[in-house]
């Protein structure tokens, strides 16, 4: 199923996910099946890459026309692009690169922001009383305190998106200085990961883990203790392998609404499809394929 594509020929466009690690990525599965479903002549592969800048330079004249950027390359990817779209520039991270066919320039985009924020918003809407949804068109994130764990590319995308939606954003990170940098850039607050355990200015907050803590094979790890989870109404985990992480399991046990990283993954992936191909994404197919993996 991974490489379930049409016949490859000289005109086939090649895409790939750049990461370290990368084998956990479901991008090849979903994109190859989507390409096939609309008869798009493309193939999408895993690319285990240590240094994204050297990789993009080495393959500058190759058939590779588009990339997804994963751990830990999302911030470096921005500096490798010739042009960066305004949203990605504001976030400070690129997770999608397209080589423009007319002049070979690398164009950088960010689909993590819309993918994560819409997943969290849908989670909040599904948990609220129907009448409160009817009465307002504002984001359910407006006025909420959103605690983002992680200050890498994914953390910046969630933090920026939540801020734009009117949330009070708090960045918690193992390396406090990085949290401070992101907080200063977006107008938020920083706390160290250790201090997050006793951080509870209010109840009913939103928590978003954007680190790889809890990802296979380290499924016993979690970025925050279960005890501290009681202050959160919704917990989102960007990790999607496994679909239910220890963090989400414990959050559910504490009574929080949980949103899996697969909800973000599918949404950011079909936005990528449209950038890669210029065609409308077969969104239902993305959900269907992801539900099988």
User: What amino acid positions are annotated as catalytic residues?
Assistant: 74
Q: Is 213 in the site for ligand ATR (CB under 6 A)?
A: yes
CB of 234 to ligand ATR, least distance (A): 20
Q: Which is nearer to ligand ATR, 176 or 287 (CB)?
A: 176
From the list 88, 154, 167, 235, which residue makes contact with ligand ATR (rule: CB under 6 A)? 154
Q: Is 181 in the site for ligand ATR (CB under 6 A)?
A: no
- Which DSSP string do the residues of 160-201 spell out, in sequence order? HHHHHTTPEEEEEESSHHHHHHHHHHHT-EEEETTGGGG--S
Q: Is 211 in the site for ligand ATR (CB under 6 A)?
A: yes
CB of 147 to ligand ATR, least distance (A): 13
From the list 150, 161, 214, 242, which residue makes contact with ligand ATR (rule: CB under 6 A)? 150
Nearest to 75 by CA among 92, 50, 52, 99: 92
From the list 25, 110, 145, 173, which residue makes contact with ligand ATR (rule: CB under 6 A)? 173
- Which span (39-47, 120-128, 204-212, 273-281) binds ligand ATR, by CB under 6 A? 204-212
Distance between CA atoms of residues 225 and 95, nearest Å: 30
Tokens 């939103």, residue located? 206
Distance between CA atoms of residues 290 and 220, nearest Å: 23
Contact at 8 Å (CB) between 265 and 288? no
Nearest to 208 by CA among 170, 165, 250, 243: 170
Binding site for ligand ATR (CB under 6 A): 71-72, 74-75, 150-155, 173-175, 178, 193, 210-213, 223
């Amino acid at each position: 199923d991974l490489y379930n594509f049409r016949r490859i020929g000289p005109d086939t466009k090649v895409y790939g996910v750049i990461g370290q690690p990368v084998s956990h990525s479901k991008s090849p599965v979903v994109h190859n099946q989507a390409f096939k479903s609309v008869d798009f002549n493309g193939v999408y592969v895993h690319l285990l890459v240590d240094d994204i800048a050297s990789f993009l330079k080495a393959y500058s004249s190759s058939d590779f026309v588009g990339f997804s950027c994963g751990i830990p390359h999302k911030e470096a990817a921005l500096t490798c692009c010739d042009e960066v779209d305004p949203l990605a520039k504001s976030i400070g991270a690129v997770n999608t690169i397209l080589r423009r066919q007319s002049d070979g320039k690398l164009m950088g985009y960010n689909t993590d922001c819309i993918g994560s924020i819409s997943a969290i918003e849908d989670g909040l809407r599904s948990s609220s009383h129907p009448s409160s949804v009817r009465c307002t068109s504002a984001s359910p994130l407006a006025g909420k305190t959103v605690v983002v764990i992680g200050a890498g590319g994914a953390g910046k995308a969630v933090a920026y998106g939540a801020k734009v939606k009117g949330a009070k954003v708090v960045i918690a990170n193992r390396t406090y200085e990085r949290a401070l940098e992101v907080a200063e850039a977006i107008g938020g607050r920083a706390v160290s990961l250790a201090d997050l355990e006793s951080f509870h200015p209010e109840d009913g907050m939103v928590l978003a883990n954007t680190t790889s803590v809890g990802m296979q094979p380290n499924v016993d790890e979690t970025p925050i203790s279960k005890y501290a989870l009681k202050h959160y109404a919704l917990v989102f985990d960007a990790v999607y392998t496994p679909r239910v992480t220890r963090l989400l399991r414990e959050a559910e046990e504490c009574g929080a609404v949980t949103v899996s990283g697969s909800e973000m993954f599918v949404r950011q992936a079909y936005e990528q499809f449209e950038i890669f191909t210029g065609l409308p994404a077969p969104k239902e197919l993305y959900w269907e394929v992801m539900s099988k993996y």
